[in-house]
């Protein structure tokens, strides 16, 4: 089945957390690393997050650099990649920043979630993929049908776990911040699952680079 090339990108603490328990957004990247992520965003057709990340971070998921936005427009692409949310329950705040501004958003949910979703058609297209869950392969096939060749997945841990355990991440970018959070309840990079990226079938390290005090690791699945 045709699906987009999937890049999974996250910033983590040295002990593998994506966030702490405070209501403020935790900054793990530095400016140069955020700019690197912006460049990756500018090179994709769609950016996806889970509903938990929308609730926790209220992200915009836009290309920030005006130069990169102009380059996309010159290539005949939208300045902002298609924004995608995975939400099995459909419980999303229609007032989230993602849904303002007029750029398209697709929400992949379940049939039950589509019935419960309060996000109107002017803000997002809501697509049911299965009865009670989000069928990732169906969502990816749908994205391919919309012309999405490259998809960036930006969290959170539940979405990372779903993509990695289903062997659907072609590239993994991890920016490691030089501190530990030690949170018991904090959001983790991944949660326990049967991962095919085992010691017997490791990922291939293609880049390891210092970006200031942040360590960038890039892996491929082949
Ligand atoms: N805090 C953090 C990240 N957080 C990611 O950035 C998203 C928000 O993007 P934006 O809409 O542009 O503000 C957020 O939903 C989450 O996926 N990413 C990183 O590379 N490094 C970081 O330190």
User: Per-residue pLDDT tens for 28-76?
Assistant: 999 999 999 999 999 999 999 999 999 999 999 999 999 999 999 999 9
Average confidence score pLDDT of the chain: 96
**CB of 27 closer than 6 angstroms to any ligand 1 atom:** yes
Point out which residues pair with 47 in neighbouring strands.
Answer: 83, 152
Distance 1 CA to ligand 1 centre (A): 30
Ligand 1: residue whose CA is nearest its atom 1? 27
What pLDDT score was predicted for residue 1?
Answer: 55
Write down the H helix ranges in the chain.
31-42, 51-57, 66-74, 111-116, 136-145, 157-165
187/166 Cα distance (integer angstroms): 20
**CB of 61 closer than 6 angstroms to any ligand 1 atom:** yes
Q: Determine the structural domain holding residue 168 and report its residue range.
A: 5-220
219/202 Cα distance (integer angstroms): 10
141/132 Cα distance (integer angstroms): 18
User: Per-residue pLDDT tens for 131-161?
Assistant: 999 999 999 999 999 999 999 999 999 999 9
158/142 Cα distance (integer angstroms): 21
156 upstream amide cis, omega within 30 of 0 = yes
Point out which residues pair with 153 in neighbouring strands.
Answer: 8, 48
**CB of 60 closer than 6 angstroms to any ligand 1 atom:** yes
Q: Which residue has the higher pLDDT, 185 or 136?
A: 136
46/203 Cα distance (integer angstroms): 24
Which structure tokens are listed for 30? 């530095």
45/150 Cα distance (integer angstroms): 5
Task: Answer for the pair 163, 7: CB distance below 8 angstroms, yes or no.
Answer: no
Task: Answer for the pair 97, 116: CB distance below 8 angstroms, yes or no.
Answer: no
What pLDDT score was predicted for residue 161?
Answer: 98
Q: What percent of the chain has pLDDT over 90?
A: 93
Provide the edge-to-edge strand list for the sheet that holds 214-220.
Answer: 125-128, 105-109, 82-86, 46-50, 150-153, 5-13, 171-177, 214-220, 204-211
How many structural domains are present in the chain?
A: 1
What pLDDT score was predicted for residue 101?
Answer: 83
What CATH number does the domain containing 198 carry?
Answer: 3.40.430.10
User: Per-residue pLDDT tens for 70-114?
Assistant: 999 999 999 999 999 999 999 999 999 999 988 999 999 999 999
What pLDDT score was predicted for residue 59?
Answer: 96
Write down the H helix ranges in 75-156.
111-116, 136-145
ipTM over 0.90: yes
**CB of 216 closer than 6 angstroms to any ligand 1 atom:** no
Q: Which residue has the higher pLDDT, 183 or 135?
A: 135
What pLDDT score was predicted for residue 76?
Answer: 96
Relative to beta strand 105-109, strand 125-128 is parallel
Which structure tokens are listed for 67? 């130069």
User: How many CA atoms, within 13 angstroms, populate the side-chain half-sphere of residue 210?
Assistant: 3
């Amino acid at each position: 089945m045709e699906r987009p090339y999937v890049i999974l990108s996250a910033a983590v603490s040295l002990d593998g957390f994506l966030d702490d328990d405070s209501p403020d957004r935790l900054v793990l990247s530095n400016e140069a690393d955020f700019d690197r992520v912006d460049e990756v965003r500018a090179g994709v057709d769609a950016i996806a997050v889970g509903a938990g990340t929308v609730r926790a971070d209220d992200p915009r998921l836009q290309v920030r650099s005006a130069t990169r936005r102009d380059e996309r427009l010159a290539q005949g692409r939208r300045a902002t990649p298609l924004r995608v949310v995975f939400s099995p329950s459909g419980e999303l705040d229609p007032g989230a920043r993602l849904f303002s501004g007029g750029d398209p958003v697709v929400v992949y949910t379940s049939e039950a979630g589509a019935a419960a979703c309060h996000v109107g058609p002017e803000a997002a297209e809501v697509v049911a993929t299965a009865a009670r869950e989000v069928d990732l392969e169906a969502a990816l096939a749908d994205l391919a049908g919309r012309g999405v060749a490259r998809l960036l997945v930006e969290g959170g841990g539940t979405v990372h776990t779903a993509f990695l355990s289903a062997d659907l991440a072609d590239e993994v970018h991890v920016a490691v911040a030089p501190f530990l959070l030690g949170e018991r309840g904090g959001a983790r990079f991944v949660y326990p699952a049967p991962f095919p990226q085992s010691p017997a079938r490791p990922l291939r390290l293609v880049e390891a680079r210092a970006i200031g005090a942040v360590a960038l690791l890039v892996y491929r699945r082949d």
